[in-house]
Every structure is written in C-alpha cells, then in structure tokens.
Amino acid sequence: MSNVNDYCIDEVADHTFGLLMSWARKISQANEAVKSRKWDYKQITPIHKLSTLTLGLVGFGKIPKAVAQRAQAFGMKVLSFDPYLSEKIARDNNVELVNLDDLCLRSDFISVHAPLTNGTRGMISTIQFKKMKKSAVIINTARGPVIDEEALIQALQQKEIAGAALDVVEHEPIQDDNQFLLLDNVILTPHMAWYSEESQVELKRKVARNVAYVLAGKQPPYQVNQLNESIGNI
Ligand SMILES: NC(=O)c1ccc[n+]([C@@H]2O[C@H](COP(=O)([O-])OP(=O)(O)OC[C@H]3O[C@@H](n4cnc5c(N)ncnc54)[C@H](O)[C@@H]3O)[C@@H](O)[C@H]2O)c1
C-alpha cells in the first residue's frame, strides 16, 4: 500500500501562519468593523508586537517545522510538544521542547499539528484550555477531532481563551448548527490549507509515480509501513 505524505507542506504552513497573522493583527475583525462603518482601531485592541509573542506547536513533523521557520523569521519564540521528537532535532530547529502543560501555560498562539490517531483524539480539551492564557489563540490545521470541539466552544464562550482559527472541524463540511458559526472570536476556513494550484499538480505527480513503480514490479516511493498502521494514523 502506498500514499503521499509530503505534498502541500508549504501551503499548510503558509495557511497556518496566515491564520496566526490574521489574529495577531486582528485583520479579520478590522475588516468586519470597517465594513460595518466603524473606522476605529480602538474597537479591536489590544494588539501586541509579534516578536514579543510565543508560538506553541503541538507536534513537530514536516508542517510545524515549516511553520516554525516562518514564525522565527518574524522574531517569535517557538515551543513544541512532540513526545517522539529528540532534543537534537528541537535544538537544530531552534525550538524549545516542552511538555503539553508548559506549552499551554506559556504560548500566546497554540497551533495543532499532531496527526489524528486513537491517542491524539480529543488531546486538547478542558484541562488544556484552563491552563492557557486568557489571551491565547488556538489554531488547528491538522484534523478537527484532535481538539475536543465541545470543550473549545465552552472555552471560547466563557472567554477562557481569546479565540480560535480553524481550517478543520469535527464534522466536515461544517454543520449548520455548529456553534463556531455564531462566535465572533472564531475564524473559519473550509479545510483548504492544503490547496494551491501547484500542490494539486504535486499530488497527482507523486500518486502517478507510486502507480508506475507498482506496475513495474518495484517498491513505490511512498510505501505505507507497519509502524504507521500500528499507531492507527487516520
Ligand atoms: N488542513 C489541511 O489541508 C492539511 C493538509 C495536510 C496535512 N494536514 C494535517 O497536518 C498533520 C501534520 O502533518 P505533518 O506532515 O506535519 O505530519 P508528520 O507525519 O510529518 O508529523 C507528525 C508529527 O506528530 C507527532 N506526534 C504524534 N503523536 C503526537 C502526540 N500525541 N502529540 C504531539 N505530537 C505527536 C509525531 O511525532 C510527528 O513528529 C497531518 O497529520 C494532517 O492531519 C492538514
């Protein structure tokens, strides 16, 4: 069996950082304010200098590594929680490896990149939201169910955290009665982080190469191994 597990890395990293920037500079809120004839930046304060803020990455695979590079270019401090990451890889990427509690306590932005497995389903829930800063914003471009959606809605309604930016939700497309649609402190995009004109070509080329190798009786470039199957990557 084969798959393609390394296309759209830049696209998802760009989208993640775009969501972060949109929140950091309150661009989405400012746009809505101006269009409802409120020409007044005081409606959307406070805004903090990006280089004074900390980004916490949940997972440190291919995509968050690219997100870290973007954040560091803007002067942000980057933390990561990834139980399978070595200190050396963290150090080489100028990222501080921390446990999940520390990441929640210290981050201004928390970006979720862990794959959805039986072990990660609902891993960000009430306990984690209660540890986060009241000013924290959570971003999810991984898979909806990695975050406990009910707990996130409650944390947003009760202002335990400041906001969320979500490219993925538990049930896609988003259901008409999903509370996220009613919350001012949520930015939503329709599971599009992977998309660019170039990533579509990249995916098709890599899939076709897998097929060509198998038809020629060779091992495909992207073979799904036993390890991935045993951790139940969904
Ligand atoms: N929104 C989109 O369009 C889009 C597109 C592509 C990928 N994705 C999502 O992005 C996710 C990340 O992609 P990637 O290429 O960086 O994955 P990757 O396979 O390179 O890395 C996954 C990382 O997660 C870590 N991990 C595993 N269990 C963990 C846990 N319990 N807590 C913290 N970290 C854990 C692993 O150690 C690994 O470093 C994918 O699993 C997929 O769900 C979304």
* Residue owning the nearest CA to atom 4 of ligand 1: 194
Q: Ligand 1 mean position to 75 CA, how many Å? A: 24
Query: What's the whole-number average pLDDT of the chain?
Result: 95
152, pLDDT greater than 90: yes
What does the pLDDT look like over 60-104, one tens digit per residue? 999 999 999 999 999 999 999 999 999 999 999 999 999 999 999
233, pLDDT greater than 70: no
Confidence at 128, pLDDT banded by 50, 70, 90: very high
Residue found under tokens 């992207």:
222
Confidence at 224, pLDDT banded by 50, 70, 90: confident
What does the pLDDT look like over 153-209, one tens digit per residue? 999 999 999 999 999 999 999 999 999 999 999 999 999 999 999 999 999 999 999
Q: Ligand 1 mean position to 143 CA, how many Å? A: 9
* Residue owning the nearest CA to atom 42 of ligand 1: 142
What does the pLDDT look like over 16-54, one tens digit per residue? 999 999 999 999 999 999 999 999 999 899 999 999 999
To test the ligand 1 pocket, which listed residue (9, 60, 67) has its Cβ within 8 A of the most ligand atoms?
60
Q: What is the C-alpha separation between 118 and 226, in angstroms, rounded?
A: 16
229, pLDDT greater than 50: no
| pTM of the complete model | 0.95
Q: Is 165 in the pocket of ligand 1 (CB under 6 A)?
A: no
Q: Ligand 1 mean position to 43 CA, how many Å? A: 36
Cis omega (within 30 of 0) for bond into 173: yes
Q: What mean pLDDT do residues 138-164 have?
A: 98
* Residue owning the nearest CA to atom 31 of ligand 1: 120
pLDDT at residue number 234: 44
CA dist 205 → 12, 14, 83, 196, 212 (Å)? 19, 22, 33, 14, 10
Q: Is 59 in the pocket of ligand 1 (CB under 6 A)?
A: yes
- Bigger pLDDT: 231 or 39? 39
Q: What percent of the chain has pLDDT over 90?
A: 93
Residue 134 in contact with residue 185, Cβ under 8 Å?
A: no
Q: Is 170 in the pocket of ligand 1 (CB under 6 A)?
A: no
